[in-house]
Each structure stands twice: as C-alpha cells, then as structure tokens.
A and B are shown apart, each in its own frame.
Chain A
C-alpha cells in the first residue's frame, strides 16, 4: 500500500469508486481508495438499484438527468455491463395531496426536459395490466428512469480506476485522520498511514464517524432500511413502481428476481443492519395486494442496509469550510447509487479544477442547513 497519495477516498461504494474513476479521468491518478470491508459491502451493495429522475427539487432532477446520461454510456465508457434497464419509474398517487404534488412536480420536471407524464387510472391499468391499482388516482411515469446492478457499477468504476493507476485497498479501515493547522495531513488506516492533503468522505452509513475523525460534526444519521429479493420469474415488470402512500418500491431485475422494500418510520438512528421478521411479514402481506402474482413466489434473501440521512433528505456534496481539502459526498438518504455518476464526476472536477464543471451542485452544500431548507418529498 502506498504511504503517500494526492487524494485518499474513504469508502469503496459506488460514490467512492465513481469519484476515483473521475479523478483518474481528470488526470489525478495518485489516489488511494480505502474500504473497510470489500467493494460494495455497505449501502451500495444493499440498495434497490433504482435510477430515477423524478424529484421534487429542480436541482436534484438535473443531477439525476446527468447521471442517466452516464448510465446510458456506462458499458462503452467504463467497460462493464451493469444490467442497466430503462424500464421507467411508475409513481402511484393515492391521495389528493399526492395528486397535487405530482402535478406540480411533473410540470417542473417537464420544464427540465424530462420525458415524464401523468397517467389516469384507466391509462395506467391498460399499460400495466398485471397490477391491482384499485384506489389509485393518478400515476407519474418516466420511461427513461430505470435500474441497474449496483455491484457491477461499483466494480466497473473500481476496475477502470485501477487501470488508470488508482490504488484500491479493501479490508482497510480508516482509523483516524491527522489534521494540522486546519489541513489534512494523513489518513491512518488499519494497514498503515497514508500521507495526503486531500480526503474524500464517501463513507455512506459511516459518514458522520469519518467527519468526526477530522473534527467535523456532519449532520447525517444512519437508519436501517430492509429489502428482499424473490426467486426469478419471467420478465413482466418493466418499471420500478413506487407508492409513497403505501410505502413500497418494487422492481424486477434483468435476471427476473423481484426486489422490494419499504421505509420504517419507527426506526431509530444507528448502524444495526439485522433484518427483521416484522418487515418480512408486513411486506409479504402488503405486496400481493398490489401485485397478486407475488402470492405464490418465494422469498430468496432478505437483508438490510443503511440510509445515510441528511436533515432535508438530500445529499450533501461539499468541501468543508473548516478543514482545507476535506470533501464529502454523504447523506444520500437512500439515493446514492442513482446519483453516483454525476456526483463522482462533479466532485472529481472540483478536486481537479477547483469547481464542479459538468453540473451545478451548489444546492447540496452544507451551508443550506444554516438557513431554512425544503425537504425532498419523493422519498420512500
């Protein structure tokens, strides 16, 4: 392992590896990425894999649309097939409040050039005949949304970054960050000390802990979110379907498995990722009401991961104003995978050129929490 690097990235998830990849592409390959466990072992490898552009905040829509451009070219550009599938996102509205919100969002999203539209109950039923949509009032459908395999995406970025000279050290835990005169001096790991002036905190569920190592009190908290996968079936479900009202999302992978999950309002912050029986029981009771064919399929695996939540449920992509060259891409609130290409690109440009070039991320700064802020509403 190198004992000196221009940049040290903490976190071998999709954000860390994407940042490493774009750093190398921007000419900075003297980079060491450290990962406490194995690549994609944290939130990335546990997520649902959805890629959505339908956000309630305009800047998020732009960031997501930029990401989709990258996902579309991923195989060509990065050299790894990632099971990318643009089957759309179907958001179901059941209440009048939701209908009003959807109408507002869709018009904003359309003004950004997104191919999103609202569908009536009849239109939706006709388009997706195998679902039980009773009670649904309107649906927002964006066909260029989709999903991909988060593991393969992470591995793709990692291998491509390695080929350009980035060093990736798995099973290497950050133990402390040495700071002198408000500058990072070194990252001390379980396998040795790496001198560096620039650190990227891409530690997902542990972003706050990494911040504290440098004396920064970052406003993120982690919450357990559970998810499970069924045995594979013939491919019948193109879109990833979400209901905020009924608290679920579901998608079918290109391999045929259904992946689904829900949020849990009773979760307390922490790092416990033990799956629970209650979750399985609630989901298996709930989901066949909307997807009757699920009743007889079998659950294969059930696991949990962490949502690293920020106060407004939007990511924090910033550079610390207290410690020189301490960057962070944290608090993704369950949406890190889908934003990673654009975020990695922006962050790498920031480090390499002093500012993000490809996309505006100024709305995602830490500063926003000092003033009033609007919570992202499109979150499961």
Chain B
C-alpha cells in the first residue's frame, strides 16, 4: 500500500482524534490498534471525564470511544485494523503484524502519528509475580471490558487518579477494596476522586508501601508497612491485610520504543512519566514526518490526549496538503494551554518546559459567592469543588446560567443561588460527583440529593444507610426521591436531620423495607417502629417498653442502633444526641443453674 498518507499507531483517544482530523481533510488514513476493540483505554473507562463539554467532559470514557469511532467510520478514506501491532520502523517500510491471520503487511506512509500510549510502572516487592498481582490497566480490562472480576478483595497500591478511579470501579462492581496505600505524604489524584472512595469507606493510607505479597499459588494477603521520611519501611509497622488481589497503580511510562526506533530523540523527564519524545508545540517529533500525541508524548489524561491528537492531525494535513484550518488549530492550542494552566497541571508544565514547551500558569479564582446558608430552605446544589481542576460541565449544563466557571476552565465554579432553580442537572453532570443537592425543611430535617452510581438503585421509601465523608455510618435515612439520569449518575434524595447535611455524602446497602424486622428477637418491624414514633414514642426506652424492642436474648445488640437510626430519621435528631437507653445486666443470657453453681473469687468453696 503506497498511497497511505498517514499511519496512526494506536487507536486510543489521541490516535483516533488525529486520524479524524486527517480523514476530514481527505487524507488516506490507517489506524493500527492492538486491541480487539479499538479505543485504547477509553473502552474500559466507565467514569465521566473532566474537562469541557466540547471535549466530551461529563461523558463516560467508553461512550467517547464509540463517538470517536463513529466519527472516524464516517470517512471512507480512513481504516482501522485491530489486533494488529507495528513490529518495527524500517527505512523500507513499517511491518504490521495482523495477529488474527498471523501475517505481516508492510506500509510506507507519508507520515506517522505515534499515539502508542503508555505502559504501567511496576513495583518491586516480595512475591510480586504471584497470580493475583495485577496492574490497574489489567483490572480495568478484565472488569470493565470483559466483565470478569479480578477477585473479591483488593489492596490498591497508589492513590493517583488511576488508583482512585479503579478503586471506585471495583466498588461499583461489588468488590471490597480493603485500602489504598500511597507511598508519598499526599493523595496523588484529584481530591474529588479521593472523596468518592473515602465516602465509600475505603481508607487511604499515606506514607505506606507494600513489602510482600502473601500466598503460595495465588495471593492470599499482603504485608504493608509505614514509610519514614527517607521512604524506608519503618520496622514494627508491618501489617497483614487479607486480600486475594493486589492492584498496582503507581503510574505510567510513555511507550516510546517505536519513536526511538524511528530516530526520534527521546529524553528522560520524570514529570512526564519517564522517557518522552522531544517534540515541538505542534506535536512534531525531531523527525520531520513523525508526530506524537497522547500519553506517548508525556503522561497526562485523555482530554489533553485528544487535543494533542487533533493538533498533530491538523499539522500533518498542513504538511501534506500545504494548508489546514488555522483558526481551529489556534483554538485547539489555546484550549490545551488553558487546560494546562491550572494548579493540578503544574507537574506537566514543569515537564514540558524540560523539552522546550512553555505554558504560562494562569491565575484562577477561588469560588467566592458560594453561600448556601443564606438560601436556607431552597432546593439548591452544594458544590464541593475546591481544587481548580480544568473542568466546567457544571457551568455549561446549567440551564439558567447560575453556575460560572468563566474563561479560565481551571477556575473554581461559582454559583448565584438566586438564579438557581434546583434542577440538579449540575449534580448529575459533575464528573467528580462533587455536587450535592440540599433543601432544609421546617421540621429539623433536610432533603439531601446524593449523586449515586451504584446498583441496585434504591427506590422511593427504602431505608438506606447514610455514610459520612469517610464512609462511616452516620444514620439511616429514607429515600424520598430517585432521579434517574441518562448518563447513569442518578440523584438519590434522602431525608436526614438538617445538621447532618454537611456530613452525609454517600449512601449504601438497603437496610430495611417497612415489613423488615428491626428487632429479630421480638419480631418488631420497621413499620411498627415508625408508627410508634409517629404515635408519640420518641425515646428509645419508650419504644423499647412499648414494642419490646431489645427485650429479647440479644439484649439490643442488633436492634438498638437500628431503632435509634429510625428514631433519628423520624424526629430529625442525630443519633449521638439520642439517649441509647438502658444496658441491663446480664450482658448475655445466663441460666439459673450456672449462676447458682458460681463460687466466690479466691474462695476454696465449690
């Protein structure tokens, strides 16, 4: 095949975007992808993307892949070959192995876009070759692409965005994530991602590392240890954690092998993940007709990868046809620079500077006018986005223009509550699930809308556990409303005591329906308890005496807290302010015979 204008190596977000730009201008394009399904990492990304809606923010990665593939598929001059690998870069051509037919085809394209992505960094510890030790990418592939759970209990190593996101996805799949450990002193990923896993009850242990995987044939546990200032394990802090899966998410390295073979200069830049190709502002490598984009040119994220791909694509068009849509190119550059101008991109900026690209940090403004308390009683969003992430779907989705991020996408959103209608769209759009809905009521309770991405979805009237920011059970709550959203971030409105509005951020396992038993010894149902409370029994002891709750053999171990939670929810007083009632002796039932046979301590009798 001799009339190939562009060979794109890698069909992920960067490669597909580059191919689309080239195909749109009529170039003959071939995308070579190793996967069974093209799309790169996108196809396993079940979470919503950050960024601006123009670049698919608030859309789930797997949907973005479909959109990009549909888009590319509309051009007859573009092709994708899957399950195929570029073997090498030779002067005479580029051999591509089709793994299905086990045959090689040699291509001689006019230009190449390397969008080869990255490979996962691995970690050295005892037994790290045991089955059950996975990279985060493998876990995502197994779980999200093929529907296979890697295990039942996971220890996640690394708190970068991937570690956090994959932990969240594991939770969504019903896997228990025992802990996320992080060697450094701070969480690596976005705060909002960390909050999501924390409120699901996953502890994030900073300054910790794994020292050993336990097991003979497969993982049965892990030994973790605290790290001192010099990153050395502190003796005596070792702990065993029982897990069947260890997932490593300690970062990515750009895949630069083919670029280097092609003669492109590479340079070690730690901030960009390792060896990266030296390239110019337009993604052109040091070899004239070779471009790079996406993680292959430095580890970042999918939005910047897509923009880089488009920039590379437009420049290739320009190289080959002599011209391209310059306005569009400039606007892409501006957007990319804007994305990288915020505080969460400081590492990227430092790295890019080392290979000659400079991006100025733009001042961003902190959210200022968010004063939800002055609009007490109005249904309105509480926006907990404080990190200056380059992201603005809250702004672009708001039908009344109440939320403003502004020109700099890194700005923290600002809301004018007087314009807000309480529709909740922002809460379903926010990729960080950092927007909650709230409305105080006169009876001391409040309606709290929580973005929820777990199954099964609770129904109206169900009782659920309300979790705090660290996954602690705060109380139980009744579901008042379930708003299903097409993007599957549903809003669950629960009724909680007003003073707990600031604490409750998640909900969980359905605890009870009205016919379910609260007290199993005495067979008292949720409905009976509720009715009694409505009839005026607003004290645990009164409920106990009225309904016989806690009067059975368990002495209240199972039912006391459940009853208090129902009481809390019905009367709007937090559990900690309620009287827990009497704890009568004996703590466990004991027979007459055994008491009678007891002797005195230090006595020779009996």
Contacts and interface: CB of A to CB of B under 8 A. Distances in A.
Contacts of B537: 155
Size class of A's contact patch? 35 or more
Nearest to A80: B546
B585 interface: yes
Contact of A159 (B536, B551, B555, B582): B536
A236 to B, nearest CB: 16
B598 A281 contact: yes
Q: Which of B535, B541, B592 has the most CB of A within 10 A?
A: B592
A295 B592 contact: yes
Nearest to A281: B595
Chain A facing B: main interface SS: mixed
Given A299-B586, A302-B585, A162 B592 contact: no
A280 B595 contact: yes
A170 interface: yes
A300 interface: yes
A297 B592 contact: yes
Interface string B532-554: 00011101011001101001110
Interface stretch (A39-47, A51-59, A177-185, A323-331): A39-47
7 contacts: A38-B541, A45-B541, A284-B595, A288-B593, A301-B584, A301-B586, A302-B584
A226 B539 CA distance: 24
A62 interface: no
A288 B596 CA distance: 10
A252 to B, nearest CB: 15
B592 to A, nearest CB: 4
Contact of A155 (B546, B552, B585, B595): B546
B545 A40 contact: yes
Interface string A250-265: 0000010100000000
B322 interface: no
A151 interface: yes
A369 interface: no
Contact of A299 (B536, B548, B582, B592): B592
A244 B584 CA distance: 27
Contacts of A275: 584-585
Contacts of A288: 592-593, 596
Query: What DSSP secondary structure best describes chain B's contact surface?
Result: loop
Interface string A290-311: 0000111111111100000000
Given A151-B545, A162-B536, A231 B596 contact: no
A216 interface: no
A300 B596 CA distance: 15
B591 interface: yes
A241 B460 CA distance: 52
Interface string B84-120: 0000000000000000000000000000000000000
Interface of B: 535-537, 539, 541-542, 545-546, 548, 551-553, 555, 582, 584-586, 589-593, 595-596, 598
Contacts of B536: 158-159, 162
Contacts of A162: 536
A300 B542 contact: no
Instruction: Identify the 4 closest CB pairs spanning chains A and B, nearest first.
Output: A151-B545, A298-B589, A38-B539, A284-B595
A296 B555 contact: no
Contact of A301 (B541, B545, B585, B592): B585
B596 A298 contact: no
B592 A170 contact: no
Given A298-B590, A298-B591, A155 B551 contact: no
Contacts of B552: 231, 300
Nearest to A257: B551
Contact of B553 (A285, A287, A298): A298
A136 interface: no
A45 B592 contact: no
Nearest to B540: A38
A38 B546 CA distance: 12
A297 to B, nearest CB: 6
A280 B591 CA distance: 11
Contact of B541 (A41, A229, A255, A280): A41
B545 to A, nearest CB: 4
Given A38-B539, A303-B582, A151 B546 contact: yes
A359 interface: no
B546 A300 contact: no
